[in-house]
Amino acid sequence: MKILLIFFTFSLISGAVRCVSVTGYSGGSLLVDSQKTWFSNYAKYMAKLPEWRTIINDKKHDKWINEGRFTLFCNNEGNLMIYIRELNQHDAGRYAIEVLHKWRINMTLNVEEDSCCSVSKRVMVNIGETANFSCEYSQNYINKSKIIFKEGKYSIEEMIRTYTSSKIGRFSGCDYIDKKLITVRISAVTPDDGGVYLCGVWIYRHSYSYSIINTVHLHIMAKVGVSRATGHSGGRMMIKCEHPQHKTKPKYICKESDGCSERKNPGVQDEWMENGDVSLYDDTRAGVLMVFFRELKAADAGTYRCGVNVSHYTESFTELQLDVEDGFSMIIIICVCVILLLIGGFTLTVCKLRHMRRDPGSAQINSHDELPTIPSDELLYASVSFQKHEESLSEASVTVSKNELYSDYATVSRRMRLN
């Protein structure tokens, strides 16, 4: 968006009423210096002619009176300034501006079409870094001086003027005539540097001064932390962004690779809301923004800003690196691990069975370990005697006796008698 800044002198038409004609551009804005005293203690009046439609009526203020797109304010020289934003064809016509009981002017506004005057930019820079922005102008304004303004709460301040290049403190500007481009540089930015900047061209013509201005919205960012999260394609994921110092401030998340052009926020607080492929919840009690990805995609990977609007042009954010892994590959890895475990278990079982077959005795001994034991007071002592006679090798006598002996041994004796 551009603003047309007009410094003019008035011609006396009749009595104390002066008339002036100015030109603005559709989509741009208009700034006019009345060269008349503000008079803080007197009411101001602005109306659209010929129907006398009242825009501002009988209001007193030290420096600034605003009604919608129309503003009257006092500049540093004590003059009344007229500021009209976002001009359209319906704004064309005659206006009456008056400080009651002091003075009155009639202003004729012409609204024209020009592609140069509808440019509005958004620039974001971290605290302590250097802010750079530029404004283009048409061929007709190559040899004209350039000017940079900043819109304040109750004023529009001149920051820097440049013919070719100039510098004031941390602010510097340069006019590249071959490119028809004004560049502005602000070093070591602070939160106070955030706001609306108006850059344009002065035109001297028929004792009037015009300035066509582009609008630049400068946002100051404060990075308070860095985090990393990993999810799987096709899965779900919950991200929590904590801002305990700004619990009730509106919060958002945006993707840096897209220039944070699309900021996703709940729109309301303490209630789940859907925004595209995510759901968001701004918890004002805990100062947390919860972001729920319903189905992660590979395109979701990247660097995000999880931020909070501290003021209109100052923000605080945490930098989040989101990695999205292929969920199908992870399933394959898990399946392979399970298969390997099954193969290992099967191999171990086969080896054990083969070992048991090669050494059955050990298997029997080992199996005895699982047999129930007999209490010591019920132990049996067995004495077995074998006797062999020449007369009969097959005869043998066995004697078994039970005694109260605390022993786990059985004694076996074999005797052979020879004739």
Q: What is the reported pLDDT for 376?
A: 45
Give the pairing type, strands 44-49 and 53-59.
Answer: antiparallel
Q: What is the reported pLDDT for 191?
A: 93
Task: Categorize the per-residue pLDDT at 55 as very low, low, confident or very high, splitting at 50, 70 and 90.
Answer: very high
Q: What value, to the nearest 5°, has the Cα angle with vertex 65 and ends 61 and 68?
A: 155
Amino acid at 7: F
Task: Categorize the per-residue pLDDT at 211 as very low, low, confident or very high, splitting at 50, 70 and 90.
Answer: low
The larger pLDDT score, comparing residue 383 to residue 357, is at 357
Q: What is the reported pLDDT for 24?
A: 79
Do 18 and 105 meet the contact criterion of CB atoms below 8 Å apart?
yes
For the domain made up of 233-325, give the CATH fold: Immunoglobulin-like (2.60.40)
Give strand pairing partners of 394: none
Query: Which class for 113: exposed (0-12), middle (13-18), buried (19 or more C-beta within 10 A)?
Result: exposed
Average pLDDT over residues 402-419: 44
Give the pairing type, strands 181-186 and 131-136.
Answer: antiparallel
The larger pLDDT score, comparing residue 329 to residue 212, is at 212
The larger pLDDT score, comparing residue 290 to residue 376, is at 290
Q: What is the reported pLDDT for 32?
A: 87
Give the pairing type, strands 79-84 and 181-186.
Answer: unpaired
Q: Round to whole Å and give the CA distance between 287 and 283.
A: 6
Q: Which of 201, 171, 206 is nearest to 187 (CA)?
A: 171
Which tens digit of pLDDT belongs to each residue from 248-280?
999 999 998 887 888 898 989 999 999 888 999
pLDDT of residue 61 exceeding 90: no
Do 156 and 31 meet the contact criterion of CB atoms below 8 Å apart?
yes
The larger pLDDT score, comparing residue 368 to residue 88, is at 88
Going from the C-alpha of 137 to that of each of 149, 150, 239, 361, the distances in angstroms are: 16, 18, 44, 102
Where along the chain do its domains lie? 1-220, 233-325, 377-416
Query: Which class for 162: exposed (0-12), middle (13-18), buried (19 or more C-beta within 10 A)?
Result: buried
Amino acid at 265: N
The count of other CB atoms within 10 Å of the CB of residue 296 is 20
Share of the chain above pLDDT 70, in %: 76
Q: Round to whole Å and give the CA distance between 241 and 320.
A: 9
Give strand pairing partners of 63: none
Do 318 and 264 meet the contact criterion of CB atoms below 8 Å apart?
no
Average pLDDT over residues 223-236: 91
Going from the C-alpha of 122 to that of each of 119, 130, 131, 132, 319, the distances in angstroms are: 10, 15, 12, 11, 20
Q: Which of 198, 183, 189 is nearest to 124 (CA)?
A: 189
Work out the mean pLDDT of the chain and round it to a whole number.
Answer: 79
Average pLDDT over residues 208-233: 85
Q: Round to whole Å and give the CA distance between 72 and 242.
A: 41
pLDDT of residue 16 exceeding 60: no
pTM score = 0.66
Homologous superfamily of the 1-220 domain (CATH): Immunoglobulins (2.60.40.10)
Q: What is the reported pLDDT for 391?
A: 44
Q: What is the reported pLDDT for 371?
A: 44
pLDDT of residue 182 exceeding 70: yes
- Let me know if the fold of 1-220 is the same as that of 233-325: yes
pLDDT of residue 383 exceeding 50: no
Q: What is the reported pLDDT for 7?
A: 40
The larger pLDDT score, comparing residue 137 to residue 323, is at 323
Q: What is the per-residue burial (b if ≥16 Cβ within 10 Å, else e) of 20-52?
A: bebbbbbbbbbbbbbbbebbeebbbbbbbeeee
